[in-house]
Amino acid sequence: MKYSEAKQGRIFIIRLEDGEIIHEVVEQFAAEHAIRAAYLIVLGGADKGSTLVVGPEDCDARPVPPLTHILDDVHEIAGTGTLFPDRNGNPMLHLHIACGRGDHAVTGCARTGVKIWQVCEVILVELLDTSARRELDPETGFELLEP
């Protein structure tokens, strides 16, 4: 286990709108508001055609190839995530969401492009006094959190 401490900073209440891509908008917001690190929750709707990473295609392969799932229709979503800088200092969102429609649900990472259907609410809590960042792990290909 690796860990570090942080302090809570500003809290932002954000509404994403129809057609926006979650990770793109949140990362842009973080850059514009000088948010280096944060955690967040999201609630709203994902549009048809949104793509999730739902696991490794082959868990023994290196780097690990992602298994993706494309939503076949509009889904309700709820999720939580973290935001830390990548190796170039750019904000990088790691967000997992559960998507449901009727009696079907799928959960995955929103990194590959989840498009908002109508509206999505985001509560973003800034983390201060942390040097945590994401570093590329050459073996897996993952951008791992280095606390």
Host domain of residue 123? 8-128
Check residue 124 and give its pLDDT. Answer: 99
Q: Band of the pLDDT at 117, cuts 50, 70, 90?
A: very high
Does the reported pTM lie above 0.85?
yes
Task: Tell me the per-residue pLDDT of 35-72, one tens digit each, with 9 for 90 and over.
Answer: 999 999 999 999 999 999 999 999 999 999 999 999 99
Residue 142 lies in a domain: no
Structure tokens at 26: 């949140």
Beta bridge partners of 82: 39, 94
Q: Determine contact, residues 112/66, Cβ cutoff 8 Å.
A: yes
Radius of gyration (Cα) for the chain, nearest Å?
Answer: 15
What is the C-alpha to C-alpha distance for residues 119 and 108, in angstroms, rounded to an integer?
A: 19
Residue 63 lies in a domain: yes
Task: Tell me the per-residue pLDDT of 60-70, one tens digit each, with 9 for 90 and over.
Answer: 999 999 999 99
- Residue 32 region by backbone torsions, left for phi larger than 0, else alpha for psi between -120 and 50, else beta: alpha
Residue 139 lies in a domain: no
**Domains in the chain, number:** 1
Residue 94 lies in a domain: yes
CATH code where residue 70 lies: 3.30.1330.80
